[in-house]
Structure 1
């Protein structure tokens, strides 16, 4: 029973992080004045919603309730992102830096979950690795875009 509860808690934490991530990217898509960034952020928000949905299914299959909300930290982060984007007038570098911070938080959460292996099946661990790797790819894209902006400045 303890393992099931721990696994559910772990998955619910990842669901909340993905909900935060999705809302953060939806905010970034609105704030970005660059169509390339808007498309990227919308795709990353969709990925996060998909990840949260997949994890919610895992929680439901275990007979538990999945988290549906976002974290207080995520709400604070999005509020800061809103303020920062208004101050910087949707500065591309500032938005990409904010996204990089969020991606690092998500990656750290996945790594923590994978290290704990609390009642996680091999199949679920594989799904978490796959999701984490897609987040890492997104982070690499964000870093490349940001570095391109710096190089062209």
Structure 2
């Protein structure tokens, strides 16, 4: 593993984190009219995502890399699909929250893939493991929406 490989993987995770942040911005206040019990968890996830972003950027620069905080193409397409879907089913809080769950599952899978590879430096493995655990914890709070 080289610094360049580590930086590449960390940038991929940063892009996914940016997707997560942009996706959270799609959740509108109307959702909390029917799911107020999730609002605090959601706000915690938003703050956590911002911290994850900052930590990834720091790790990338510590490895001599330049960070790329642009969202992924698939994330952009997914958010566009959400916009179209919401245009035809306005005020559908369940659909909006299902998209949060979908995004969390996708992020968890990406982190698992990064951890299974051999491209992360020992220092970055600890960061990625910590962030992976945070994603799993937040997913668990919203997982009941899938059932």
TM-score by structure 2 length? Answer: 0.87
Partner of 1:130: 130
Gap runs ≥5 in structure 1? none
51-60 or 32-41: bigger deviation: 32-41
Higher relative contact order (CA 8 A, sep 6+): 2
Unaligned runs of 5+ in 2: none
Q: Kindly report the root-mean-square deviation, in angstroms, between the aligned alpha carbons of the 2 structures.
A: 2.0
- Find the aligned partners of 2:129 and 2:97 in 1 and give their Cα distance: 24
Cα separation, 2, equivalents of 1:45 and 1:132: 15
**Which position in structure 2 is the counterpart of 1:143?**
143
The residue number in structure 2 matching 1:46 is 47
Paired residues of 2:15 and 2:68 also in contact (CA < 8 A): yes
Measured after TM superposition, the shift of residue 10 of structure 1 is 0.1
Relative to the length of structure 1, the TM-score reads: 0.84
After alignment, is 89-98 or 53-62 more displaced? 89-98
Report the CA distance shift for 1:49/1:29 in structure 2 as closer, same or farther (over 3 A).
farther
SS at match of 1:27: coil
Aligned length: 145
